[in-house]
Amino acid sequence: AQSVTQLDSQVPVFEEAPVELRCNYSSSVSVYLFWYVQYPNQGLQLLLKYLSGSTLVKGINGFEAEFNKSQTSFHLRKPSVHISDTAEYFCAVSPPRGSGNTGKLIFGQGTTLQVKP
Amino acid sequence: DTEVTQTPKHLVMGMTNKKSLKCEQHMGHRAMYWYKQKAKKPPELMFVYSYEKLSINESVPSRFSPECPNSSLLNLHLHALQPEDSALYLCASSQDQTSSYNEQFFGPGTRLTVL
């Protein structure tokens, strides 16, 4: 079974400062990893995903994440945040085909990013 | 077109009402999902349809009844709901249920309030 832990429930940061949102996962098999963003009163939008290959993944809106297999982490980073980045961020995992994949995404509890002026 | 649409955007209903939520995608995806999301919580999976057949029911109460009339449409029929069912209901779709990776595309959701 897989599980996802987002280590911070809230991250306050000032505009133009860098930010890191932490995500750790637990799994006995290889997994695919995702970060989704949810702006207020909206659905979830995919920011980026790690399937294989380069461990540094670049996504939309200037976000990137680094997959670290030894530490089972997939932390999300942005070098300079904007007010418009204020949102809820969810890390999620999915096991690959043939590894008990039932189509389920396993989500972390979410991190609220609050960007202050 | 990489969009999942949901109607209505907001819905207020009494505990004796019958209503339906609708979801549509035109990406040729063969898996569609219903999620329930409470405030400040991650989405909770309710149902999965794969090739228009119900594949997963996460022990959802029978007052929620899903329907997949065709590969582009997904409905959620609601009857005799309770106030605790008030939530954001999200629809999602993916290429298929067990594809090499399961990138799910989400709709904007229906905000449901049960009085």
Over residues B54-88, the pLDDT tens digits come to 998 999 999 999 999 999 999 999 999 999 999 99
- Per-residue pLDDT of A54-75, as tens digits, reads 899 999 999 999 999 999 999 9
Nearest CA in chain B to A41: B108
Q: What pLDDT score does A12 carry?
A: 97
pLDDT band at A28 (very low <50, low <70, confident <90, very high): confident
A68-97 per-position pLDDT tens digit: 999 999 999 999 999 999 999 999 998 766
Least confident of A45-49, A99-103, B32-36, B61-65: A99-103
- The pLDDT of residue B97 is 74
**What pLDDT was estimated at residue B96?**
81
> Which of A96, A104, A108 lies nearest to residue B100, judging by beta carbons?
A96
**Gap from B30 CA to chain A (nearest CA, Å):** 12
Q: How many CB pairs under 8 A join A and B?
A: 69
- Nearest CA to CA, how far is B33 from chain A (Å)? 9
Cβ atoms within 10 Å of B70's Cβ, excluding its own = 8
Of the candidates A94, A100, A81, the residue with the CA atom closest to the CA atom of residue A35: A94
Verify whether the Cβ–Cβ distance A97 to B104 is below 8 Å: no
Mean pLDDT in residue range A37-50: 93
Amino acid B12 reads V
- Give residue A100's pLDDT: 58
Residue A41 forms contact with B (CB below 8 Å): yes
How many C-beta neighbours within 10 Å does residue A16 have? 12
Question: Using CB atoms, which residue from A45, A105, A110 is nearest to B102?
Answer: A105
Percent of residues, chain A, with pLDDT higher than 90: 74
Q: Which of A43, A90, A109 sits opposite B108 (nearest CB)?
A: A43
Model confidence at A40: pLDDT above 80: yes
Mean pLDDT of chain A: 91
CA angle B49, B51, B53 (to 5 degrees): 50
> Are the C-beta atoms of A6 and A22 separated by less than 8 Å?
yes
| Contact assignment for A110 to B40 by CB distance below 8 Å | yes
Judged by CB atoms closer than 8 Å, whether chains meet at B101 and A96 is answered as yes
Dihedral over Cα of B26, B29, B31, B37: its sign: negative
* Mean pLDDT calculated for residue range A28-38: 89
Q: A95 and A101 in contact (C-beta within 8 Å)? A: yes
